[in-house]
Amino acid sequence: MHIVNGKEYPCCASVTMGMIGGKWKTVILFHLIETPLRYNELRKKMKSVTERTLSLQLKKLEEDGIIKRKVYTTKPPLKVVYSLTDIGKTAIPLLKSIAEWGEYVVENT
């Protein structure tokens, strides 16, 4: 049994899937590989995700320490930017491999 952020996982693979698995988390992380993005920028890249789902997934990724949320309040309007944390950056090779496998499947089916 493994415990991460107060959650129990039966194996290391379940830790990975618990933190970045699901329909939208990997997509969010994939878009944050190259550059930090604002909420609306993410929303434009992920046209079929609902606002509620995107907000919930961003919160979960932030709670798990995979992304960070930076709020800029120096001048209106309020600006919020999401980026990968140091732990999140360690998932980049995994995310790229997932994307490459997806490309392979698309080309070969």
Summarised one tens digit per residue, pLDDT across range 31-58 is 999 999 999 999 999 999 999 999 999 9
Structural domains in the chain plus CATH codes: 24-107 (1.10.10.10)
The mean pLDDT value of the chain amounts to 93
Residue 82 pLDDT exceeds 90: yes
Q: Judging by beta carbons within 10 Å of its beta carbon (0-12, 13-18, 19+), is residue 23 exposed, middle or buried?
A: exposed
In this predicted structure, which of 37-41, 57-61, 74-78, 90-94 has the lowest mean pLDDT? 74-78
Q: Could you tell me which residue, 6 or 105, shows the higher pLDDT?
A: 105
* pTM for the full predicted model: 0.89
